[in-house]
Chains A and B, each alone.
Chain A
Amino acid sequence: MPDVRVVNVTKKYGKLYALDDVSLTVHDQEYFSLLGPSGCGKTTLLRLIAGLIEPDSGEIYIGDRRVDKVPPEDRDIGFVFQTFALFPHMTAWSNVLYGPKVKNYDAKQAETIGHEVLELVKLNERLNAYPSELSGGMMQRIAVARALAAGAKTLLLDEPLGQLDAKVRNEIRYEIRRMAKDLKLTAIHVTHDQAEAMSISDRIAVMKKGKIVQVGTSQELYMHPDSLFVAHFIGESNFLEGYITKANGQSEIELRQGLKIKAINQSNVKPGERVVLAIRPETCEMKRGHVVAENSLFGKVEKTTFEGIVVRYEIRLENGDRFVINRPSLTEEWVKIGEDVTITYPLDKAHLFPYPEAGLAEEIKV
């Protein structure tokens, strides 16, 4: 059960760099996700690993074998398509047995494998139905079973849950992970849904415009985003723009209209430099009225939204900036629109970034 390595791979469509010098290592038996907004090149990368397209340059290894010239049928991979791509002219059962059949296994062996994988995906009914007669969840299971039956050692999944409704999606995502782990497979899972990626992955690569911008576990990406883009795309962040006024150890930032706040100096900034401070909504505390405290901001509640577990408050700060925070809905008294509040943010959980050259909006655009 191999590791997958992608080395300096570039793929262009006309002038567009679908992948721009991408390198990546997925460990043996790892459940790995490629996460990024639509159009960032996730599918392209997955199809390159599968051999469905060829890179313009770079190398791809599965295990010890360099595969970029190997046709897809010889790569020992299983690919689950977003559309499932079940063969419409075959029953569910024939779909599952397709791999063993074209690999010339004898009929008996093929059937044994078929039963095993169907057991695994917990599907034993309606096997004589044609794909058009199956529900989305069943089609999804058949698609996975089919890939496993073909003897896949590496499982490549392209938004495998995209076509399912929310409830089924949440159930099936853990099942796919469990199967991959049970069978000791290496799995690469493409998704644009950060919650999905965070809940099932050992590690995640975040992609943006044909590049991988950060690789790490869910916690690493959430706690220590390398870039404004990741801070924005994984979870949610408030971005406060300003200039550094003090830079040694605990730095001081001057926000719009001369408002000064504190942050830990994380990225070697110098006085006078333009910066953005990222603060996650769920890390902040909020008190009614103006309370003088360390690391605090004053503002007025402009809008509240009940979102189930949390209440989301949109607050206008005294310098005019917008700030969002989430508070538990059941254990805390709600604050009303128009009330003055004091927000305190934890210094160690706020992240300081240099102001991006292309501008903040451009940097975090998805």
Chain B
Amino acid sequence: MLSKLWNTLNTLSSKKPLKYTLYLSAIIIFFAIILVPPIIGILLKVGTVQNVLDQPALMNTALVAIQNSFIIALIVAALDLLAGVPLAWLITRGKSRWLSVLDTFADIPFVVPTAALGYSILLFWSSSGGISSLFGYSLVSPGWLLVMLLHFTFSFPVVVRVIVGALLDYKMEYERAARTLGAPPLTAARTVTFPIIKPSLIAAFSLAFARSLSETGATFIVAGAFINGPVFIQGLKNQLASGLPAPITQATYEGGTVFASIILIVVSLVIFGLIRVLGQKLTLPFGKGLPLVEKKLSYKKTAWSRNSVALVVFIVIVLVPSLFVALPAFQAIATGNTLVQAFTGQSIWASFWQSLLLSYGLGAIVTVLGILAGIPMAILIARKTFGKLPSAILDTLINIPLIVPSIALGISLKFFWQGVPGIPEFLLLVFAHLSITYPYFVRSMSAAMERINVDMEEAARTLGARPFTVFKTIVLPITKYSILSGAIIVFTRSVSETGATLAVTSKLVTAPVLLVNWVNSVRGIIAPIAGVNALTVGLACGFLILFSFIILLVLRLLTRKGKV
């Protein structure tokens, strides 16, 4: 039955109508579900901006917040590159067997729900139980520095992932050629390798930049008195709900959200455009370099210390702080009592397991839908099926959901779908997560498609394979690794997403939402939930991280197994 359907579709795939139907539906899905609803949602409420314009103090706060967002994002993205390149280098070029473990560890901050990550960072850097206990005072108080540390932590893995991919694909011959021409390793890297992988460096920078701009859930926890764009919006939302410190109207809340979102989106688009244009103009290597210094820095001792610094930065600033929140889990395991309660699903734990199930179920659905909707789009972009310009336009448009603050995305989605009566909350969740994760998948898949020689697909056609067969037998096996790593990002992002989820849901509780509630209860921000304490939070985070890590590992092992 199924194979019959496949055969019919496969035969039809040689015909133009099916091909175009497929591509057009991919485009329609992209516009109708992913791109347009959040934008329309914002535009529907554009009238409320007047409320902000009428309140100069509020507007000022918003503008300062947005300015902060961009400053932090630029600095963080630059620092990410600075620290990420040496680590990626070590992972791809080092000889130790342990490096593949390191490679997997680099993904860990991905699987920690952002809200839990924020709490973890807070605990590590600034509470009395964290690293501060070594110094006897709070090392980093909530504020801009902690926000930067946080953003560095969660954007770092993206940068490492992208650059590791690029370095793995890169042909070593070029660098060897440079070496035979007399360049020491560092000079060879600067003059040959980096110019060649420049697109990936730019992509890594852009992703880190966008991630920093849009993250809401965790930032809010560590921001203290510091305000950036997403924190500003989240603050308005809380203020509307609690009436503290002063009550605000629904219109002011909507106006503030729309105002901040629009400015963030427009400025980001301009910056992304600039990165695109300047990125092409920017010719690496810069200047002449310092051949002698580079030569000295290239060999044994300095290479060793470079690697050590990269490792230490990764472990101390990224890995340990991300996992710190799960530390009480060990205590819970040791005492046993909480663990038993957890496993038997007593009291608060029943809701925890439910939320975990919801999160993983949602993650799986979003991943499958994202792959289905994303593959035709990736092909369109990579193969320029409708011409160069449309492909470039689509390529730019898919970035938009990345740069909208996740909370603003959630809120505007809600504005939009409110118009459709009776739409289930779960569907809203799926849409919100699809919007947020779609760009990651399409990006990684289209990059992989661009690396396949078109000859390969054409050869299969001349040998009698219909387009669907070509996809199944040639494209899929060759891009398997990229599809899976794209899927991993989609899945982990969906499982850890907090800001937009909070914004679109009122009844459904995903694991990150539940954790935020628990964290807030422990921190005394909301009315205490009976049975929730630091121990339970730690254990809950521990479970989430552990399960996600296992899923990641299994997926990764599955892809590593087969050849290519």
CB of B14 within 8 A of CB of A98, answer no
- Chain B residues near A85: list those with CB within 8 A: 453, 455-456, 458-459
Whether B563 contacts A130 by the Cβ 8 Å rule is yes
Decide yes or no whether B94 CB sits under 8 A from chain A: no
A interface bracket (residues with beta carbon within 8 Å of B): 20 to 34
Within B6-38, the residues touching A (CB, 8 Å) are 14-15
Is B361 on the interface with A (CB-CB < 8 A)? Answer: no
In angstroms, Cα B457 to Cα A81, docked, is 11
Q: With both chains docked as a complex, state the minimum distance between the C-beta of B559 and any C-beta of chain A, in angstroms.
A: 13
Q: Is B2 an interface residue (CB 8 A)?
A: no
Q: How far is the CA of A98 from the CA of B457 in the complex (A)?
A: 12
Nearest B residue to A71, CB-CB: B14
Bitwise, A251-275 to B at CB < 8 A (1) or not (0) is: 0000000000000000000000000
Q: How far is the CA of A81 from the CA of B477 in the complex (A)?
A: 21
List residues of A (85-99) whose CB comes within 8 Å of B's CBs.
Answer: 85-89, 98-99
Q: How far is the CA of A199 from the CA of B466 in the complex (A)?
A: 36
Bound form: Cα–Cα A85–B453 in Å:
8
Give min CB distance, A14 to chain B, whole Å: 10
For A72, give its contact among B456, B458, B474, B564 (CB under 8 Å).
B458
Question: Are A99's CB and B564's CB within 8 A?
Answer: no
**Considering the chains assembled together, what is the distance between the CA atoms of A156 and B458 in angstroms?**
13
Stretch of A26-34, A145-153, A296-304 with 4 or more beta carbons under 8 angstroms from chain B: A145-153
How far is B290's CA from A335's CA once the two chains are assembled, in angstroms?
58
How long is the Cα–Cα vector from A146 to B459 in the complex, in angstroms? 10
Any B CB within 8 A of the CB of A52: yes
A146 CA to B455 CA, complexed, in Å = 14
Min CB distance A221 to B, Å, is 29
Whether B462 contacts A89 by the Cβ 8 Å rule is no
- Cβ proximity bits A76-120 to B, threshold 8 Å, 1 near / 0 not: 011101010111110000000011001100000000000000000
State the CA gap A248–B561 with chains docked (Å): 82
* Nearest CB in chain A: distance from B450 CB, A: 16
Q: Is A73 an interface residue (CB 8 A)?
A: yes
* B-side interface mostly: helix
Q: Are B14 and A74 in contact (CB under 8 A)?
A: yes
Q: Does B460 make an interface contact (CB < 8 A)?
A: yes
Within the complex, what minimum Cβ distance (angstroms) separates A206 from chain B? 26
Select B460's contact among A71, A75, A98, A151, beta carbons within 8 Å: A98
**Most A C-beta atoms less than 10 A away, residue of B455, B464, B466, B477:** B464
* Contacting pair B478 A52 (CB below 8 A): no
Contact with A along B520-564 (1 / 0, CB 8 A): 000000000000000000000000000000000000000000011
On chain B, the residues within 8 Å of A50 by CB distance are 458, 462
Contacts of B460 in A (CB 8 A): 87, 98, 102
CA distance A79 to B454 in the complex (A): 14
Given contacts A71-B14, A73-B14, A83-B455, contact A147 B462 (CB under 8 A): yes
- Report if A102-B465 is in contact (Cβ < 8 Å); known contacts: A71-B14, A89-B563: yes
Task: Report if B331 contacts A (CB, 8 A).
Answer: no
B478 close to A88 (CB less than 8 A): yes
Q: How far is the CA of A147 from the CA of B465 in the complex (A)?
A: 12
Q: Which A residues are in CB contact (< 8 Å) with B477?
A: 89
Nearest Cβ in chain A — how far from B452, in angstroms? 9
Q: How far is the CA of A102 from the CA of B469 in the complex (A)?
A: 7
A176–B473 alpha-carbon span in the complex (Å): 28
Q: Bits for A36-52, please: 1 = Cβ < 8 Å to B, else 0.
A: 00000000000100111
Verify if B295 is at the interface (C-beta below 8 Å from A).
no
Beta-carbon contact of B456 and A146 below 8 Å:
no
Q: Mark B454-495, 1 if CB is under 8 A from A, else 0.
A: 011011111111100100011001100000000000000000
Let me know if B456 and A87 touch, CB within 8 A. yes
Q: Give B401-417 as 1s and 0s: 1 = Cβ < 8 Å from A's Cβ atoms.
A: 00000000000000000
Since A75-B462, A85-B453 are in contact, a sample of 18 more A-B pairs with Cβ atoms closer than 8 Å, ordered by chain A residue number, is: A50-B462, A51-B461, A52-B458, A72-B461, A73-B461, A73-B462, A81-B458, A83-B453, A85-B458, A87-B474, A88-B564, A98-B463, A99-B464, A102-B464, A102-B473, A146-B459, A147-B462, A150-B462
Contacts A/B (CB < 8 Å), 8 sampled: A73-B465, A81-B458, A83-B453, A87-B474, A89-B564, A98-B463, A99-B464, A146-B459
Residues of chain A at the chain B interface (Cβ within 8 Å): 47, 50-52, 71-75, 77-79, 81, 83, 85-89, 98-99, 102-103, 130, 146-147, 150-151, 156
